[in-house]
Chain A
């Protein structure tokens, strides 16, 4: 199996462990990734808050670069915000030829043309639909047995498109967690919002949402995420929010491929666990 790979800006900076663990996991299960040459920012939520056209041109540049590559016609994207921006561009140009024309006028500045023949896939989509789960089961060393893991999906890998999972009651991580021998924590916060960029510009609103999620996760051994923004929001202010809510909300938060990698015998260092901001000590003590 081969995919083009769009890491996105966060995976080169604040979520570098997501990049490390995704590449390692994919390699372990026999998936080849080819990074898109000269990829650029997808626009995040900044572009759509400033300019309608720019919010499509920035993702389109990356789709056009991907079309020039021969490796595959599918792009694997680990970041949910990047995934949504690339996906919405893939979707709209099929319906709105006028917008496609405008996008291509802008891309002409870089001698790029967007035709629309690549498919954007989220990492969780590929892991839950394409990868043979037996490979994860076979390599798992039962280190995770006895642990209960809360699957947190966030918003943008599920909504508005809902392509690979139920957009309100997602379960695509369940089988992956169970493949490691761990149990799935029962909660109804997996598809709730972490506050996204409100956490930076309106911290009180962002922290209120994260407080609800962390409180609901009490009893789980760890939370798994599939988005750099969710990860950062859930782990960066646990002390501050614990203090505010008056209860201890300290919990390890890991990217899904970090957890799967650990279960399959990789070391904490291999999956970049030293780079997480939350205290992952309880998890490694119990599991390794």
Chain B
């Protein structure tokens, strides 16, 4: 986890902790989650760790990055808690503090948003290339090569690079960053 302190983590999750304060530990979220077989701790267990300030254990786990935003837990939670949103908040914290286990997803989202900032819309080929470069893993692109070639052959993705100058949504992105500080 590098230089991030326990206190920093505690401070960062404060708004999420407030959101799930009334959790009764019934486990409906866990029973409803399609991704638990790929989680090291269950969603119910995550909320328990958060409420008891075991943030170090919470962020040693990769469970929250497995959330695929299916919203079953949010729909079924008997306390009406926005648990999918709580998962997103944890992803935001992990990204803000540059936690290592979230790096792959985080770089993927960075590359995606960079394309949006530049062009207003996502250019799939540009963003995937940017992602591969930022991951610094020479083998990674091969996992996507077969799909990439199929999409290229169908003309669904196009190589479009090198637009420079002021990004289309740069001003809005900058203002959002200032407002969030």
Contact = CB atoms under 8 A, between A and B. Distances in A.
Contact of B35 (A162, A205, A236): A205
A246 interface: no
B122 A44 contact: yes
Interface string A97-112: 0000010011111100
Nearest to B128: A200
B104 A236 contact: no
A52 B96 CA distance: 12
Given A51-B180, A54-B176, A156 B95 contact: no
Contact of B68 (A193, A203, A274): A193
A64 B70 CA distance: 27
Contacts of A109: 171-172, 174-175
B42 interface: no
B56 interface: no
A201 interface: yes
Given A156-B71, A192-B34, A40 B116 contact: yes
Interface residues on chain B, size class: 35 or more
A49 interface: yes
Nearest to A106: B175
Contact of B156 (A13, A44, A46, A198): A13
Interface in B23-76: 34-35, 37-38, 65-66, 68-72, 74-75
Contacts of B106: 49-50
B179 interface: yes
Interface in B65-97: 65-66, 68-72, 74-75, 82, 84, 88-89, 91-92, 95
A277 B151 CA distance: 8
Interface of A: 9, 12-16, 38, 40-41, 43-55, 57-58, 61, 102, 105-110, 155-156, 159-160, 162, 167-168, 192-193, 195-198, 200-206, 208-209, 236-237, 274-275, 277
Interface of B: 34-35, 37-38, 65-66, 68-72, 74-75, 82, 84, 88-89, 91-92, 95, 104-106, 108-110, 112-113, 116, 120-124, 143-144, 147, 150-151, 154, 156-158, 168-169, 171-177, 179-180
